[in-house]
Structure 1
Amino acid sequence: MNRARSERRGRRAETLAAWWLRLHGWRILGRRVRVHGGEVDLVARRGRIVSFVEVKQRATVETADLALDRHRLRRVAAAAEQLAARFARPGDDIRIDAIFIVPRRLPRHLANVWQG
């Protein structure tokens, strides 16, 4: 798959994930937020929780389960650490979540996937 097509698929997956979060009471604070050394796909808030969300789209549930490894999570965690001051308020809980997008299935949202 060429890069432009992958980019479009990734953006569609992020849009779907953002709508899924909104339907579950989250407010989207940022999309594709970049910092030196990384990027966070979505930043969302619900009450006192600020979540830095990694979105992965794969063809099957099995490949989705393998899409997020420790190395990728470490990069998201590093970016989230740099971004926390921008999005979180004193007393907020900060966490890293993942949303997996698989065709013909509801998005799967895993909360607090990084235990640094």
Structure 2
Amino acid sequence: MRDRRRAERAGRVGETAAAWWLRLKGWRIVARRVRTPAGEVDLIARRTGLVAFVEVKRRQTSAELDFAIDQFRLARVAAAAEYLAPRYLEPGDDMRIDVILIAPGRALRHIENAWIG
């Protein structure tokens, strides 16, 4: 139980760091931790004409990040994004699935358009 709480806290710290990084890049965070029947989206960010559904993974080492995201996890985020699209997209908007990977002492890694489904 303690490990679960620690992981949850670390995940929230990672999501906050990712949200700030996106803001610095000109994105507006419109939602955090949105749950759907299909899965959860960590961050939903908007920029002119584009909405990004963002999966954030934080690990203790950069080596662990190599295994933090896979097609199964991306498919769940994509399914949740499809569910949420009518709520967050405006007419003419494009959407994409992004991943942000974070490890202490390493530069944040932003993978744009990570899901091509």
TM over 0.5: yes
Q: Which whole-Å CA distance do the structure 2 matches of 1:104 and 1:5 have between them?
A: 19
**Structure 1 residues 14-25: aligned runs within 5 Å:** 14-25=15-26
Q: Is the 8 A contact 2:62 2:106 kept in 1?
A: no
Q: Which amino acid aligns with 1:103?
A: P
How many residues align? The count is: 116
Q: CA deviation at 1:59?
A: 1.9
Q: CA deviation at 1:82?
A: 0.3
Q: Which whole-Å CA distance do the structure 1 matches of 2:66 and 2:82 have between them?
A: 25
Q: Is the 8 A contact 2:38 2:83 kept in 1?
A: no
Identity, in percent, stands at: 60
Which runs of 5 or more residues in structure 2 are unaligned?
A: none
Q: TM-score, normalised on structure 1? A: 0.96
* Matched residue, 2:43: 42
Q: Is the 8 A contact 2:42 2:54 kept in 1?
A: yes
Q: Which whole-Å CA distance do the structure 2 matches of 1:2 and 1:65 have between them?
A: 21
* Matched residue, 1:100: 101
Q: Point out the more displaced range, 1-10 or 82-91.
A: 1-10
Superposition misfits of 4+ residues, deviation over 4 angstroms = none
> What is the RMSD computed on CA atoms of the aligned residues?
1.0
Q: CA deviation at 1:103?
A: 0.4
Q: Which whole-Å CA distance do the structure 1 matches of 2:109 and 2:39 have between them?
A: 23
**Structure 1 residues 1-116: aligned runs within 5 Å:** 2-116=3-117
Q: Which whole-Å CA distance do the structure 1 matches of 2:105 and 2:83 have between them?
A: 35
Q: TM-score, normalised on structure 2? A: 0.95
Q: Which whole-Å CA distance do the structure 2 matches of 1:37 and 1:97 have between them?
A: 17
